[in-house]
Amino acid sequence: MLRYIVKRVALMIPMLFTVALLTFFLLRVIPGDIVEVKLRADGGNVSQEVIERERVRLGLDKPLVVQFGDWMKGIVTFDYGTSMWTGQPISREIGIRLGLSMQVAVMAAIVAVLIAVPLGTVSALFRDSWIDYLVRIVTIAGLAVPSFWLGMLIILGLLSLFNWSPPVTYTPFFTDPVANLSQLIWPALAVGYRYAAVVARMLRSSVLEALQEDYIRTARAKGVFERLVIVRHTLPNALLPAITVIGLEFAFLMGGLVVTEQVFNLNGIGRLFVEAVTRNDFTLIQTLVMMIAVMFAVVNLIVDLLYGVLDPRVTNQ
């Protein structure tokens, strides 16, 4: 098992290196850099000399290969450098936001699984009945409705019903769990609905498929209670494909909540990302991309390990 994990982690290195290479050079291909954004964006008349000086200060004058080498050196030593815009260490810029984004993603995943598993299963079991149609309408709506729009509806609803509006500052979970949860449950719901819809639809079809399997017929022929046929024989098999979707969506949520964070006034990774991009903050963008790539790789590894736990064929073949 350990051997397998080590091997998988080792295989991540070339993948992450490729991501780093692509991100770094693609960013430099785009015309303009942070210095121009910073000093000339408002049309201000700044002399070329000042701009050059700023470039030298940020290291942008060095050859690209050297810049890339410096960055790689930093990554290996866990020193990601400073944001070109704020001058703050990048680890700090990300650190203060990562907890929040992670928490929203985890809560959205929990919401999604709690909704999707019963919904998807019931929909498959009562295929082509009114329950199934209802679930299918609800899940199609989940895919069609943008999360931020749902978020706006939630805020409007909360405002008119309870006169509650999202707080301006973020309360960490360990400072005040109640305040924290009451703040983050709404974005988690808004995002979780779409997430649940994706998973429920996946699960519906995999349950339908599993119900056709010969081993389900065997279970029934043994006289197993119908409830057990579903819970013990069908679901563990049907959940396997759904887990892949759950994992991929989760990794996406880490950096993909751009607009939803805006709506709920959350200072998360998504917003940081957008700001970094608009400012051409090369060092920050690079590091964020790398972080998300690592996140995808790790979540994928966890999904594969979970497969091993749920499906004995994977572990000891």
Partner 1 sequence: MLNTLEIAGQVAARPSARSPLLSVEDLRVEFDTSRGLVRAVDGVSWNVYPGETMAIVGESGCGKSVSALAVMGLLAKPAGRVAGGRIMFGDRDLTKLSTSQLRELRGRDIAMVFQEPMTSLNPVLSIGTQLAEPLRIHLGMNAQEARERSIELLGLVGIADAARRLDQYPHQFSGGMRQRVMIAIALTCNPKLIIADEPTTALDVTIQAQVLELMKELSQKLGIALVIITHNLGIVARYADRLTVMYAGRVVEEGTAEQLFARPRHPYTLGLLRSVPRLDRPRAGLLETIDGLPPNLLAPPTGCRFAERCFLRAAVCEDDPPLFDLAEGQRSACHRHAKLEQALAARPAAPPLPEAAPSDGEAPLLSVRALRKDFHVPVGQGRQGLVRAVDDVSFDVPRGTTLGVVGESGCGKTTVGRMILRLTPQTSGEVLFEGTDIASASAEAMRKLRLRMQVVFQDPFSSLNPRMSIGDTLNEPQLVYRKVRNRREADENSAELLRRVGLVPEMASRYPHQLSGGQRQRVGIARALAMQPSFIVCDEPVSALDVSVQAQIMNLLTDLQNSLGMTFLFIAHDLAVVRHISQRIVVMYLGRVVETADCDDLYREPLHPYTQALLDAAPVPDPTIERRRAARVLKGEPPSPLNPPSGCTYHTRCPRATAECAGIVPPLREVRPGHFAACIKL
Measured CA to CA, the distance from residue 257 to residue 271 in angstroms comes to 8
Residue type, 279: R
Residue 110: CB atoms within 10 Å: 13
- In what helix (H) or strand (E) does residue 101 lie, and over which residues does it extend? helix 90-125
The CA-based dihedral angle spanning residues 117, 154, 194, 110, taken in that order and rounded to the nearest 10 degrees: -40
| Contact in structure between 216 and 210 (CB atoms under 8 Å) | yes
Q: How far is the CB of 131 from partner 1 (least distance, A)?
A: 15
Q: How far is the CB of 218 from partner 1 (least distance, A)?
A: 5
Q: How far is the CB of 48 from partner 1 (least distance, A)?
A: 56
- Pick 60 or 306: Cβ nearer partner 1: 306
Q: How far is the CB of 6 from partner 1 (least distance, A)?
A: 10
- Pick 4 or 25: Cβ nearer partner 1: 4
- Pick 44 or 223: Cβ nearer partner 1: 223
Q: How far is the CB of 223 from partner 1 (least distance, A)?
A: 3
| Contact in structure between 267 and 261 (CB atoms under 8 Å) | yes
Residues near 222 by Cβ (< 8 Å), separated by ≥ 6? Answer: none
Work out the angle between the directed axes of helices 90-125 and 282-310 (0-180°, nearest 10).
Answer: 40
Binding footprint of partner 1 on the chain (CB under 8 A): 3-4, 7, 213-215, 217-226, 228, 232-233, 236-237, 310-313, 315-317
- Pick 133 or 215: Cβ nearer partner 1: 215
| Contact in structure between 182 and 294 (CB atoms under 8 Å) | no
